[in-house]
């Protein structure tokens, strides 16, 4: 895939790959990519006509999801559970006075970008570009930190 990636000169976060190209590059079916999106693991960039596009960074995240499933033996629910533990209120600039009005802070059993009734939702913030969503590929570190703190407790 590295070879194909370098043929297209673009920044890591420019959404330049269609779903067809992304699925060929990653050997993952377009249906699987749509399913990851329905499940809330993946957010695709949408063009004005509603076409899904992916950046290099998105492709890396998809590979990370595949790796969690194939090698770390996590299922989609397990990956979502890990992602739901990301403290979005610490990562994104979030008004601490609003914490107790935000479902992401109060109920952390869903990824924040799938929750309704959050201050982000009412401000129509773009989750695709949000640093919280962009931290998703770091779930390996998150898992390690959780394992360590569980062992300590
Ligand atoms: S903008 Fe979206 S991804 Fe970012 S903290 Fe808000 S809900 Fe989560």
Domains and CATH numbers, the chain: 1-73 (1.10.1660.10), 84-153 (no CATH)
> Would the pLDDT of 4 be above 70?
no
Atom of ligand 1 nearest to the CA of 94: 5
Sign of CA dihedral 69, 72, 77, 81: negative
Closest CA to ligand 1's atom 3: 127
CA 84 – ligand 1 centroid, Å? 11
- For 10-58, the pLDDT digits (tens) are 788 899 999 999 999 999 999 999 999 999 999 999 999 999 999 999 9
Q: Is any ligand 1 atom within 6 A of the Cβ of residue 112?
A: yes
What is the b/e burial string over 117-146, where b = at least 16 CB atoms within 10 angstroms of the residue's CB? ebbbbeeeeebbebebbbbbbebeeebeee
Question: What is residue 151's predicted lDDT score, i.e. its pLDDT?
Answer: 59
- What is the whole-number distance in angstroms between the Cα of residue 39 and the centre of ligand 1? 16
pLDDT tens sequence across 95-135: 788 788 888 888 878 899 999 878 888 888 899 999 999 98
Q: Which of 90, 86, 91 is nearest to 142 (CA)?
A: 86
Atom of ligand 1 at shortest distance to CA of 127? 2
Q: pTM for the full model?
A: 0.84
CB atoms < 10 A from the CB of 89, how many? 20
Euclidean distance between the first and the last CA atom of the chain, given in angstroms as a whole number: 42
The reported pLDDT for the residue numbered 29 is 98
Q: Which atom of ligand 1 is nearest to the CA of 121?
A: 7
Residue 122 C-alpha to ligand 1 middle, in angstroms?
11
pLDDT at position 89: 87
Q: Which residue has the higher pLDDT, 75 or 92?
A: 75
71-93 mean pLDDT: 88
Beta strands in the chain (DSSP E): 17-18, 45-46, 52-54
The reply to whether ligand 1 has any atom less than 6 angstroms from the CB of 120 is yes
Q: What is the DSSP letter of 96?
A: G
Phi, psi of 52 (to 5 degrees): -80, 135
């Amino acid at each position: 895939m590295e070879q194909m990636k370098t043929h297209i000169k673009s920044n890591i976060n420019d959404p330049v790959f269609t779903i067809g190209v992304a699925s060929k590059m990653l050997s993952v079916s377009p249906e699987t990519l749509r399913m990851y999106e329905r499940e809330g693991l993946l957010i695709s960039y949408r063009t004005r006509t509603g076409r899904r596009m992916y950046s290099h960074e998105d492709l890396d995240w998809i590979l990370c999801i595949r790796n969690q499933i194939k090698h770390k033996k996590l299922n989609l629910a397990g990956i979502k559970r890990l992602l739901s533990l990301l403290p979005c209120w610490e990562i994104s600039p979030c008004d601490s006075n609003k914490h107790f009005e935000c479902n992401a802070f109060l109920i952390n059993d869903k990824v924040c970008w799938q929750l309704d009734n959050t201050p982000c939702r009412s401000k129509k913030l773009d989750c695709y570009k949000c640093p919280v969503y962009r931290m998703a590929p770091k779930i390996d570190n998150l898992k390690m930190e959780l394992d360590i703190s569980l062992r300590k407790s």
